[in-house]
Structure 1
Amino acid sequence: MTRTDEFVTVDGTELHYSAWGDPDDPVVVCVHGLSRNGRDFDPLASELADDYRVLCPDMPGRGLSEWADDPDTGYTWPALRDTVLGFCDALDLDEFRYVGTSMGALLGITLASTALDGRVTHLVCNDIGPVLTQADDGVDRIESYLTNPPVCETVTDLEDWYRETYATSNEKTDAQWRRFTLTSMRRRDDGLVTRDYDERIVTPLLRGEDDVSDAEAWRRWESLECPVFVVWGRESDILHEATVEEMLERRPETEVLELDCGHPPGLNVAAQIAPIRRFLAG
């Protein structure tokens, strides 16, 4: 199924998004992780596109979307929630399914229980829970490579860095690693190659204060009215077993797919895509 590149302006910021499938089909919105972009969902979207209109935006400061003028206001949790809400409003999405990876899922949990309550019909959370209180090691790991992004002479050097840094995810073929690299790189003015995000995204998110307390986050988790499907890498340092157990205790109807990998599952293989497709069709 053919992917198209589309753009929409939300609150004065131009957002790029990949669009798959027939515009008349039911919509799936896919939101990526903290430093990634919407192209991460290419494998999933290409499989879903026969039945759905799949929209995969790049959040501000990532991919092909515009960078924020002020990172202290443009890259905060409240700003990102407003961006997702504005994206859905700008495209007149009254009812849709939502798939989020890591940061994208955290945004989805909050929005599906508040501003998008009644509009999100199915919620897929890829390897994150409502709170990060048990994920200090994972947050430190992510912060360490986001605050010191690679600067490489060649694309193949950057690919080697990606293979090492994202080795916690499930296995990828050589072709998948190459696609992963080419869809998340940029060449700087000096000709060197680096990742495709604004390096200023890091501090406001990883160490800034959110306006949602842990208690409120759990309350919102419990209040979700749509079906929820959690993809969990059992070796994840972001979503721990204790958090999964509490998620199920507080919301027993939640479905969980357990995988033998770390953070985050790539949603790039049939063993992950097929259960998501089944859930979204329910």
Structure 2
Amino acid sequence: MTTTQDGFERRSVIAGLGLGGLAASTALAGQAQATPAGAGADAKLRFGSRKVGDVTVFYREAGRPDAPVLLLLHGFPTAGHMFRDLIPLLADRYRVIAPDLAGFGRTVAPPRGRFTYSFDALAEVVEGFVDALGLTRYALYVFDYGAPTGFRLAMAHPERVTAIISQNGNAYTEGFSTEWGPWEAYWRDPSAANREACRASLTDEAILFQYRHGAAEDRVSPDGYTLDMHYMRRPEAQEIQLDLILSYRTNVERYPEFQAYFRKHQPPLLAVWGRHDAFFIPPGAKAYARDLPKAEIHLIDAGHFALETHAAEIAVRIRDFLQRNGV
């Protein structure tokens, strides 16, 4: 395991560049921003959709069709647009694909009476999406809800996974903060009152808190959280999210399975974690090392939505990690 508190792993990045401190940060950001310059049309975002049963999955992608694949799985309460800064920084070398999960963004799924909004269902749709695109090998970038979704996919097809990047994507109970109280009460007792108490997580104020807590406010674009607020106001959106909040208990129940997958298959794993996250705290990142001794763990000076403020640094870390692991 390699863990750093200041967001820089000197063995693999700074040592190679011969830089340190603020100069290293500037150089890392500059490298990430300059990398795609020669990629031309390959670095430009493309948009499409694929039919998976009754769900039409919307996705963003960039990169050559024959390039190694990086599959980006977003979290709550957002969608694939959270990767808007990251995708162009990696598309010169990778085919980067970011679908919107069922119930999120521009993916179109049936109403609640005709579709079960659960994490098992989210994973089944992603698996169908991957098959529809003909993807047989990919690295996974998992964040928040994307982690239990992606880990289900990895357990179903371990031979497909070339590496995992977990950005505040939890798989250990140590990763939970005290902010989970109302959700945990709902898991223990799914009463109408406990369901209603979780509705506070869906307000504009709660969404804004997720974006801004632990981050420099003047670096957080209003575009992301404003769009998420809009999505949350659509018909049935809040009830769908409350169904998924209840289903989240199944993720915790499956943590031992996720961890067994890590121990058995030993996928290369990079944890790049906003250490000021109010929900998934640093012990959750460090816990990966129990099952993956070679895990590379970095705590960066960011909040929950680390890509809003640190996309350039994270892109450099991903490129370095994947290339050293032959991806």
| TM-score exceeds 0.5 | yes
Is 1:207–2:239 an aligned residue pair? no
Aligned-pair CA distance for 1:115: 1.2
Change (3 A) 1:50 1:235: same
Residue identity in the other structure for 1:217: F
Aligned-pair CA distance for 1:12: 1.7
* Residue aligned with 2:49, SS: strand
Aligned-pair CA distance for 1:45: 0.4
Aligned-pair CA distance for 1:6: 0.2
Aligned-pair CA distance for 1:182: 5.8
Match of 1:34 in 2: 76
Match of 1:280 in 2: 322
TM-score under structure 2 length normalisation: 0.71
Alignment of 1:145-184 (within 5 A): 147-150=201-204, 163-168=208-213, 170-171=215-216, 177-181=221-225, 183-184=227-228
Change (3 A) 1:182 1:261: closer
Q: Is the 8 A contact 2:164 2:267 kept in 1?
A: yes
Aligned-pair CA distance for 1:141: 7.9
Aligned-pair CA distance for 1:138: 3.5
Aligned-pair CA distance for 1:118: 1.0
Match of 2:64 in 1: 22
Is 1:66–2:66 an aligned residue pair? no
Is 1:117–2:158 an aligned residue pair? yes
Is 1:45–2:87 an aligned residue pair? yes
Aligned-pair CA distance for 1:271: 1.9
Match of 2:288 in 1: 247
Say which structure is richer in helix: 2
* Residue aligned with 1:56, SS: strand
Change (3 A) 1:183 1:28: farther
Match of 1:10 in 2: 52
Match of 2:237 in 1: 198
Change (3 A) 1:136 1:181: closer
Aligned-pair CA distance for 1:11: 2.0
Alignment of 1:222-241 (within 5 A): 222-241=263-282
Between 92-101 and 263-272, report the one with greater CA deviation.
Answer: 263-272
Q: Tell me the distance in 2 between the aligned counterparts of 1:20 and 1:238.
A: 31
Say which structure is richer in strand: 1
* Residue aligned with 1:269, SS: helix
TM-score under structure 1 length normalisation: 0.81
Match of 1:131 in 2: 172
Change (3 A) 1:261 1:98: same
Superposed CA RMSD in Å reads 3.0
Aligned-pair CA distance for 1:181: 4.3
Change (3 A) 1:178 1:109: same
* Residue aligned with 2:258, SS: helix
Q: Is the 8 A contact 1:71 1:204 kept in 2?
A: no
Between 205-214 and 136-145, report the one with greater CA deviation.
Answer: 136-145
Q: Which residue, out of 308, 313, 326, partners 1:271?
A: 313
Query: Where in structure 1 are there 5+ consecutive unaligned residues?
Result: 151-159, 188-192
Residue identity in the other structure for 1:82: E
Q: Is the 8 A contact 2:166 2:269 kept in 1?
A: yes
Bigger relative contact order, structure 1 or 2, given CA contacts below 8 A and separation 6+? 2
Aligned-pair CA distance for 1:163: 4.7
| CA displacement, residues 135-188 of structure 1 (integer Å, 9 cap, x when unaligned) | 1534358885665433xxxxxxxxx985544112544756x614324654548x
Q: Tell me the distance in 1 between the aligned counterparts of 2:159 and 2:169.
A: 22
Change (3 A) 1:94 1:32: same
Residue identity in the other structure for 1:149: T
Percent identical = 23
Change (3 A) 1:85 1:260: same
Residue identity in the other structure for 1:244: A
Residue identity in the other structure for 1:41: F
Change (3 A) 1:262 1:66: same
Query: Where in structure 2 are there 5+ consecutive unaligned residues?
Result: 1-42, 184-196
| Number of residue pairs matched by the alignment | 266
